Structure 1
Amino acid sequence: MRTTLLAPGAHEAPRGLTPGLLVLLGSLIGFAPLAIDMYLPAFPTMAQDLHAPESAVQGTLAAYLAGMAAGQIAYGQLADRWGRRLPLMLGLALFLLASLGCAQAASVGELTAWRLLQALGGCAGVVMPLTIVADRVQGEAEMARAMSRLMAVIGLAPVAAPSLGTAVLGLTSWRGIFVLLAVLAAAALVAVWRGLDDHRPVHHAPAGTPRPGPLQAWGTLLRDRRFALAVLVGPLASAGMFAYIGASAFVLIGQHGLSTGQFSAVFAANALVLTLASQVNAQLVRRWRPTQVLAAALPAVTLVGLGLVGLGWWAPQALWPLLLGLGLFMAGLGLVSANGSALALSGHAPQHRGLASGLMGTLQFALGAAVGAALEAGGHVDASVMALAMTGCAAAAWAAALARQRLAPPATA
């Protein structure tokens, strides 16, 4: 099938999302947290087996995040040029091969290189599903509902990943984790090949109309100040979650003395709270616009973060209030994530949807990596430092949403 373009002013009929397609797309997006969280329990064993310091093993995670940040814009441009299915299959094939490479790595440097390649393949599983959702639904509210429904599948990955990694370690070595990831990638590759049609932008332009180049596509998107602000909302809020992910082990295990099993239970519970809140959001946007939900959720999340900062300063040993505050923060993010994505991805011509999705994903992982690096550079991490980072990200997302709202035209429905 020939990739085609949509002329200015032309519209493409949305094709809808079946439950089976939602499960497939959500599972593909879930590869990212699965490949991040599943091997975390193996860090000490990997350091011993590879004769490397634990900091070097942690560097393999940084390489994965860097690859996820760097590759998504490229896949977005490939999606707009080649369609959705072929780049997705190529990315899954690269993820599969790199996972096998990780499983046989003989040194931490070799493992780091394979992890980078694994991420460059895996990020196709983030960009393409989001682009396909944008192809098949119309309007911010419908987009927000679709993203919320995706979270019901995506949210299972961070809930299950640490326990799944621990179970694999009980049966085999850390290398078995990467073999399992390769098997899952092979299954996903078959599912995409058999179950996903090659949906591409529809051509309504006169014959001979030149295809917009990458720079022209970038210019079209970034000249739209509403998009430039909207694409920041979700990634900035997600950076607050990355702050929690990066610091929570130091706070809950190091500061409060939780066991690794208790920490895994808290981690899974917060992931479940985020997932459930996203399902509540699917109902909220039936009554209120996504911008209205964001207008309530973002200040609430910021206030919860400020409460956690105060708790860290004045009652640093209070565990249960800390757990309650973290749960409330995750619940707020569950209301923010889908709506932020909806603002960024809805309303684009088909030839720009992949690039918009790739830019949003790149910002999400780049900002998350920046927050993690800032926490590491700051030295000692306690509850108040973690809460400050989370609150700063939430406040920045709120500011971006407010600025976009001032630019938005009045709603007509």
Structure 2
Amino acid sequence: MDTPARGAVPTPLLLVLALLASVAPFGIDLYLPAFPRMATDLTTTDTAVQLTLTTFLLGLAAGQLVFGPLSDRWGRRGPLLAGSAVFVAASLLVATAPTIEVLLAGRLFQGLSAAAGMVIGRAVIADLATGRIAARAFSLMMIVSGVAPVVAPLLGSLLIDGIGWRGVLFVLAGLAVAMLAGSAVVVRETHPRSRRGSARSGGFHALGRKAYLTATATFVFSFAVLMAYISASPFLYQVVIGMGPVSYGLLFGLNALGLITSSAVASRLLRRGNPRRILTIGVTWLFSAAVVLLVLALLPIGAGWLVVPIFFAVASLGFVLGPATALALDAVPQAAGTGSAVLGASQFGLAAVVSPLVSAGEGHSTWPMAVTIAVLATIAAGFCALLRRAPRQVDAPEVDRLPVRT
């Protein structure tokens, strides 16, 4: 097959990497509507079923810290295939679990192994491209995988009545099989042996660079805005505003469309635009929407007005997440796996902390959500400002950037 030019990320590879990035969010959100039925069928408590989500998140965060450094030392392909194979086995165990104890164990291993695709997928792009090309690749991935946390709960609601909660988990197992097959067929080794020695000696030390820390923090706090929105949306749209399930689903879809569109626009702008400049535009957009959301939430007006700034806040992330990821991993070219691991673990660690905060108020109050989003956006803007003053990372030598055959 043809070998693409240096710095290019082939479309088939990009699609597989997007699948790797989306499987874990589907693992978090797809089965949420099935919680009540799971508690009944397994003769357990709602709290125990809720723990299946907690164990998955813990595994997802810990697994990235394992597979990222491993891929720096031993290459990308071997750890990726091993993690994908374990993910398939764990997914089948989860779908057939006879007791809550088996389900909890399966979810832990499911999270640990799903992390391989997420962390190594980002590292593969960092191996192949830098600067605008890498930022554009991450933005294109957002079109495919960035809407997974938004779409998954709705899809789970549509599937649960027809195939039951075990059927929904078998759907997740099917995604795991597709992930393994795509990894085996499409993904080739992108981290040559000549660079693994520097990864062993650099490792976590390289992550102290200002450019890496500020870009990662910008990404993490911006992504937390998305998780705050997802956590608060059922309460806000259905309880406070009074929407029905269909209207709720349509509004979810509209916000997802905004994110997809902005990601596509950012990808086009990155053909010639500077990633730092695109990121600054996105964070400014996010901060402005968050301020408007906070003002409207504190004013004595109808809560229905909040859907407008929420739409713009979610859409702004298409200009943020891709460029921020590229800038973070550009700063640690010799330890992209480790850098990707810390970014991903921080991403889901903060998301787990933020989710309960949006419902901390009493009654039908919307201010906890608005305050949480405004604080997160403000912190992201602060780190983005620091990033603009950080020294630019000099790319690794061109001979170290190997094309990948697909």
Same fold, TM exceeding 0.5?
Answer: yes
Instruction: Tell whether 2:277 aligns with 1:292.
Output: yes
1:229 aligned residue (207, 211, 214): 214
* Corresponding position of 2:80: 88
Instruction: Tell whether 2:206 aligns with 1:220.
Output: yes
Deviation of 1:93 after TM superposition, in Å, equals 1.6
Instruction: Tell whether 2:330 aligns with 1:365.
Output: no
Write the distance in 1 (CA, Å) between the matches of 2:17 and 2:187.
10
* Corresponding position of 2:36: 44
AA partner of residue 28 (structure 2):
I
Deviation of 1:180 after TM superposition, in Å, equals 1.6
2:98 aligned residue (106, 112, 120): 106
Instruction: Tell whether 2:321 aligns with 1:323.
Output: no
Write the distance in 1 (CA, Å) between the matches of 2:264 and 2:258.
10
Deviation of 1:200 after TM superposition, in Å, equals 2.1
Residues 247-280 of structure 1: per-residue CA shift (max 9 Å, x gap): 1111112212222332222223212211211111
In structure 2, do the counterparts of structure 1 residues 199 and 288 end up closer, same or farther at CA, with 3 Å as the change threshold? closer
Write the distance in 2 (CA, Å) between the matches of 1:217 and 1:73.
12
CA contact (8 A) 1:103 1:175 kept: yes
Deviation of 1:375 after TM superposition, in Å, equals 4.0
Deviation of 1:50 after TM superposition, in Å, equals 2.5
User: 5+ unaligned residues in a row in structure 2: which ranges?
Assistant: 395-406
Write the distance in 1 (CA, Å) between the matches of 2:310 and 2:338.
33
CA contact (8 A) 1:104 1:175 kept: yes
In structure 2, do the counterparts of structure 1 residues 108 and 373 end up closer, same or farther at CA, with 3 Å as the change threshold? farther
* Corresponding position of 1:353: 336
For normalisation by structure 1, the TM-score amounts to: 0.87
Write the distance in 1 (CA, Å) between the matches of 2:357 and 2:162.
36
AA partner of residue 232 (structure 2):
A
Write the distance in 2 (CA, Å) between the matches of 1:393 and 1:322.
17
Write the distance in 2 (CA, Å) between the matches of 1:330 and 1:122.
25
In structure 2, do the counterparts of structure 1 residues 241 and 398 end up closer, same or farther at CA, with 3 Å as the change threshold? same
AA partner of residue 342 (structure 1):
A
Instruction: Tell whether 2:222 aligns with 1:199.
Output: no
Write the distance in 1 (CA, Å) between the matches of 2:364 and 2:327.
34
CA contact (8 A) 2:279 2:319 kept: yes
AA partner of residue 329 (structure 2):
L
AA partner of residue 375 (structure 2):
G
Residues 300-348 of structure 1: per-residue CA shift (max 9 Å, x gap): 21121121112222245331x2211111001111111111111101143
* Corresponding position of 1:271: 256
What is the number of residues matched between the two proteins? 390
Deviation of 1:28 after TM superposition, in Å, equals 1.2
2:371 aligned residue (388, 401, 404): 388
In structure 2, do the counterparts of structure 1 residues 256 and 23 end up closer, same or farther at CA, with 3 Å as the change threshold? same
Instruction: Tell whether 2:38 aligns with 1:54.
Output: no
* Corresponding position of 2:399: none
CA contact (8 A) 1:247 1:381 kept: no
Write the distance in 2 (CA, Å) between the matches of 1:46 and 1:36.
15
Instruction: Tell whether 2:168 aligns with 1:177.
Output: yes
AA partner of residue 314 (structure 1):
L
CA contact (8 A) 2:72 2:338 kept: yes
Write the distance in 1 (CA, Å) between the matches of 2:287 and 2:68.
31
AA partner of residue 290 (structure 1):
P
Write the distance in 2 (CA, Å) between the matches of 1:367 and 1:202.
34
Write the distance in 2 (CA, Å) between the matches of 1:220 and 1:365.
22
AA partner of residue 361 (structure 1):
G
CA contact (8 A) 2:65 2:345 kept: yes
Residues 39-70 of structure 1: per-residue CA shift (max 9 Å, x gap): 12212222222333434323322222222122
Write the distance in 1 (CA, Å) between the matches of 2:321 and 2:80.
23
Residues 78-128 of structure 1: per-residue CA shift (max 9 Å, x gap): 110111111111111222122122212234343233222111111111111
Please, which moves more after superposition, 155-164 or 258-267? 155-164
CA contact (8 A) 2:361 2:368 kept: no
* Corresponding position of 2:317: 333
User: 5+ unaligned residues in a row in structure 1: which ranges?
Assistant: 1-12
Residues 348-398 of structure 1: per-residue CA shift (max 9 Å, x gap): 334x01001111111110111111244466676742211111111111111
* Corresponding position of 1:249: 234
In structure 2, do the counterparts of structure 1 residues 89 and 307 end up closer, same or farther at CA, with 3 Å as the change threshold? same
AA partner of residue 328 (structure 2):
A
In structure 2, do the counterparts of structure 1 residues 373 and 384 end up closer, same or farther at CA, with 3 Å as the change threshold? closer
CA contact (8 A) 2:232 2:359 kept: no
* Corresponding position of 1:65: 57
In structure 2, do the counterparts of structure 1 residues 159 and 232 end up closer, same or farther at CA, with 3 Å as the change threshold? closer
In structure 2, do the counterparts of structure 1 residues 337 and 68 end up closer, same or farther at CA, with 3 Å as the change threshold? same
Write the distance in 1 (CA, Å) between the matches of 2:78 and 2:322.
26
In structure 2, do the counterparts of structure 1 residues 155 and 299 end up closer, same or farther at CA, with 3 Å as the change threshold? closer
In structure 2, do the counterparts of structure 1 residues 80 and 166 end up closer, same or farther at CA, with 3 Å as the change threshold? same
CA contact (8 A) 1:101 1:114 kept: yes
Write the distance in 1 (CA, Å) between the matches of 2:6 and 2:336.
13
- Secondary structure (helix, strand or coil) at the match of 2:389 reads helix
